[in-house]
Homo-oligomer: A and B are copies of this chain.
């Protein structure tokens, strides 16, 4: 099963907050259902957020009672506003919404045909993401050799995408090619996507994985236990990669230890009209830090920072792997020029 699927007016996904303990299937019937699932991180991962937002608009269109094309466009625009208010950092969500709205506005048929068109376009976005991940996997696997130990952060796997994964797509492709590799997964506080999701995915596929706390990254590099780092991205701007909090810390450590630091992400993650100064880093509620599950882990009333993402300047990035290939720093400039 894909991580997200359209089934006749219902969108199906897995509740990622309940993994790895329970595999609870979510059925969403409206844009509001999807928006709520995104806010609460039942759905997460930049490429998946793009597909989810697209399917949320598809749900609006499919269930709409609008009889006029203009009315449906209005409804889609209102739904888009709700979706854009869910999470500010990952760009794929905005990219998917804008793609569908732009195409809907340019569509000349009636409301019913437009609804069908929106559902098809959402499906196309999902299919493209699945295809992009395979390509990213294949390109990225060229960089991976027998004996590599790959450190990854958060979850940039099948669960963060429609299927296969970005960073873990590279790992999967290398593994499927028979390369003997191992993965070190950081637990990724505060939401523990590494501990909960990455270990779950990799163990299911039989790929060797070792879990560490985030603050062990320096130690495993010092001990030469890591040969490459591969992470995903929530947004790639002109000068930086925006990804899960903790990514920049790993990038600095990789640079200090001369370990290649790769970012695997589809083009829907690229936002090259902006720089890091334009990016809003989402600050999430303090309880994610002060509690684990229902358990308080600190003194009552303590102040907390909880940025969900950080900013890794491109100088720390060895290459970006996307569905067009491997973009080294110089290529990246050329790539920018061609967008």
Residues in chain B near residue A222, CB distance under 8 A: 248, 310-311
CB of A292 closer than 8 Å to a CB of B: yes
Q: 0/1 per residue, A179-190, Cβ < 8 Å to B?
A: 000001011111
Complexed CA–CA distance, A87 and B44 (Å):
41
Q: Shortest Cβ distance from A313 into chain B, in angstroms? A: 9
CB-CB under 8 A for A196 and B298, given A215-B189, A252-B252: yes
CB-CB under 8 A for A219 and B310, given A189-B213, A249-B253, A303-B209: yes
Within 8 A of B (CB), among A293-319: 293, 295-305, 307, 310-311
CB of A192 closer than 8 Å to a CB of B: yes
Complexed CA–CA distance, A166 and B191 (Å):
32
Q: Once the chains bind, are A216 and B245 in contact (CB under 8 Å)?
A: yes
Complexed CA–CA distance, A298 and B214 (Å):
14
Q: Once the chains bind, are B21 and A249 in contact (CB under 8 Å)?
A: no
Q: Shortest Cβ distance from A130 into chain B, in angstroms? A: 24
Q: How many residues of A contact B (CB 8 A)?
A: 56
When C-beta atoms are compared, the residue in chain B nearest to A257 turns out to be B252
Q: Contact partner of A208 among B189, B190, B303, CB < 8 A?
A: B303
Q: Once the chains bind, are B216 and A246 in contact (CB under 8 Å)?
A: yes
CB of A131 closer than 8 Å to a CB of B: no
Complexed CA–CA distance, A304 and B208 (Å):
11
Q: Once the chains bind, are B249 and A203 in contact (CB under 8 Å)?
A: no
Within 8 A of B (CB), among A269-304: 289-290, 292-293, 295-304
CB of A33 closer than 8 Å to a CB of B: no
Interface SS of chain A: helix, strand, loop or mixed?
mixed
Complexed CA–CA distance, A184 and B334 (Å):
41
CB of A25 closer than 8 Å to a CB of B: no
Q: Once the chains bind, are B249 and A304 in contact (CB under 8 Å)?
A: no
Q: Shortest Cβ distance from A255 into chain B, in angstroms? A: 8
Q: Once the chains bind, are B20 and A299 in contact (CB under 8 Å)?
A: yes
CB of A138 closer than 8 Å to a CB of B: no
Complexed CA–CA distance, A114 and B337 (Å):
82
Q: Which residues of A contact B (CB under 8 A)?
A: 20-21, 184, 186-190, 192, 195-196, 199-200, 203, 208-220, 222, 245-246, 248-253, 255-256, 289-290, 292-293, 295-305, 307, 310-311
